[in-house]
Structure 1
Amino acid sequence: MKIALMDSGIGLLAAAAAVRTLRPDADLVLSSDPDNMPWGRGTSEDVTQRALAACEAAAAHGPDALIIACNTATVHALPAVRALLEPDIPVIGTVPAIKPAAAGGGPIAIWATPATTGSPYQRGLIRDFAAGVEVTEVPCPGLADAVQWADEDGIDRAVAAAAALTPRDVRAVVLGCTHYELVAERIRAAVQQPEAEPLVLHGSAGAVAAQALRRLGERPEPATEVRGGLTVILSGRHETLPPAALTYAEGRGLQAVSHAG
């Protein structure tokens, strides 16, 4: 089994690590476009074209399924990618985990990129899945970029700024950008109040990994000792995981439990 993942950058590491946990024997193809990050500053047409290019690069390796492990690309390019690849290659998008967060009751906060915060897309998800729940949308300028390049000071500044906009009484935070999942514990530490119940963070990595297996009619087999391959494509070039990826546990884990693709 071969599963491809696409993102603008290393935000796909969280979903890739989740797939690797569920199926250590799966071959993974990671296709990203760091040369043109961040995609969110472009038009919808720009995002769609870049997403299509990254997906085509991944599809050339013959995956059984493709995960768009990027919220921005899912918003703008999911229909175009599905039109290109399905039904031959099932395509799984990434949606912020607003529904499960709201199911636990409020108040909740949604951390997302400035382009996504307040967008009709996100407002629609809030309307559909969080009616009656107190929701605060928190823009996080610069956080995805800082995570992408493992800029420790930049991450600290962006997390602190977003935490200052987050109400002290929130019970859960939705991580509305896949890059944020790589620094989830730093976000937790910044938002958790000493007197409050443990904060719940809601990412999308586990859900999209499980959905990819369901689309393929496969079951999780986490105990298998077979090590799947790892192929890395950066802006169309065959590479290894970039140094910044190896600063995160997900990146180091993927390198450690994969054989060369």
Structure 2
Amino acid sequence: MTASTAPNASRLPIGVFDSGVGGLSVLREIRAQLPHEDLLYVGDSGHAPYGDKSQAAVTARSMAVCEFLLTQGVKAIVVACNTATGAAASALRERFSIPIIAMEPAVKPAATQTRSGVVGVLATSRTVVSDNFNRLVARFSSAATILVQPCPGLVERVENGELDSAELQQMVDDYVQPLCQQGADTIVLGCTHYPFLVSLIQASAGQQVRIIDPAPAVVRELQRRLAEQHLLSNNTARGQVAFWTSGSIQQARFIIPQLWQDGGAPDIRHWSS
């Protein structure tokens, strides 16, 4: 039985996962746009970062997390991780029958919105070598010059709860300023961890540079897919949210409340696979 054929399927929760806590930036957007949906979030922090792992390793972890979410009865899964999207989205869609909504760096809107004709993309090292990402860049390279900047180290800083320090600002400067010096007036956040550093990125780029977070577009696609299959919740109450981590529960209880900021103490549990 699939989510779409189960009794009261619309009342089932939406599963969301990331290599760690970065996907909370997407979860917050889902919460804002679909406040009546129940949400289950898995941060695979015990295996983070995904960005320095092979495609096979990232696919294996993505499969394991999705299998777990299915045991929790989810009606759809959001892959809130650009690295997992590039490595595993196709395989996940082949294996699972429920809707799988994945991230896509906002290269298309950036290419249409740039005034200078130059777009910068900040991403993990694994994302920038993925076939999906490179096909995306190639598709819009005739509309704009697209500069791709790998950003090793930023995911780990966010995972550790370091969101604002002089050392981190210098690291951000090292990644952002070369893009601006080459004329980029639009910068795409190609990793779900990076929205938590947007103030540092904007400070480095300057207010005249547009920063694009793909999360709102991803949630619009989620809403469209759920509506198409009659899976949007008809709850009138605010949805419930539960969190799992495969890493340190103590670290999760430290960092998740900082990033989630939805009021109250979040329900955080440990999961291992």
TM-score normalised to structure 1 length: 0.85
**Residue 157 (structure 1) aligned with residue 170 (structure 2):** yes
Change (3 A) 1:144 1:56: same
Find 1:72's aligned residue among 68, 78, 83.
Answer: 83
Structure 1: runs of 5 or more not aligned? none
Counterpart residue number, 2:110: 101
**Residue 52 (structure 1) aligned with residue 79 (structure 2):** no
Counterpart residue number, 2:132: 121
Counterpart residue number, 1:217: 227
Counterpart residue number, 1:178: 192
Q: 1:173·1:201 contact (CA, 8 Å) conserved in 2?
A: yes
CA–CA distance in structure 1, aligned partners of residues 80 and 90 of structure 2? 15
- The one-character-per-residue Cα deviations of 1:220-248 (angstroms, maximum 9, x if unpaired) are x9xx9722111111129999953112223
Find 2:45's aligned residue among 34, 38, 41.
Answer: 34
Measured on the aligned residues, the alpha-carbon RMSD in Å equals 2.7
Structure 2 SS opposite 1:201: strand
Structure 2: runs of 5 or more not aligned? 1-10
CA–CA distance in structure 2, aligned partners of residues 25 and 65 of structure 1? 15
- What amino acid sits opposite 1:8 in the alignment? S
Structure 1 SS opposite 2:125: coil
Q: How many residues align?
A: 249
Q: 1:232·1:239 contact (CA, 8 Å) conserved in 2?
A: no
CA–CA distance in structure 2, aligned partners of residues 183 and 35 of structure 1? 22
Q: 2:112·2:143 contact (CA, 8 Å) conserved in 1?
A: no
Structure 2 SS opposite 1:167: helix
Counterpart residue number, 1:13: 24
CA–CA distance in structure 2, aligned partners of residues 240 and 31 of structure 1? 14
Q: 2:78·2:101 contact (CA, 8 Å) conserved in 1?
A: yes
Counterpart residue number, 1:84: 95
Counterpart residue number, 2:145: 134
Change (3 A) 1:141 1:239: closer
Shift of 1:71: 0.5
CA–CA distance in structure 2, aligned partners of residues 260 and 180 of structure 1? 22
Structure 1 SS opposite 2:46: helix
Structure 2 SS opposite 1:228: coil
CA–CA distance in structure 2, aligned partners of residues 66 and 119 of structure 1? 21
Structure 1 SS opposite 2:223: helix
- What amino acid sits opposite 2:190 in the alignment? G
Change (3 A) 1:61 1:35: same
Q: 1:229·1:259 contact (CA, 8 Å) conserved in 2?
A: no
TM-score normalised to structure 2 length: 0.82
Change (3 A) 1:17 1:260: same
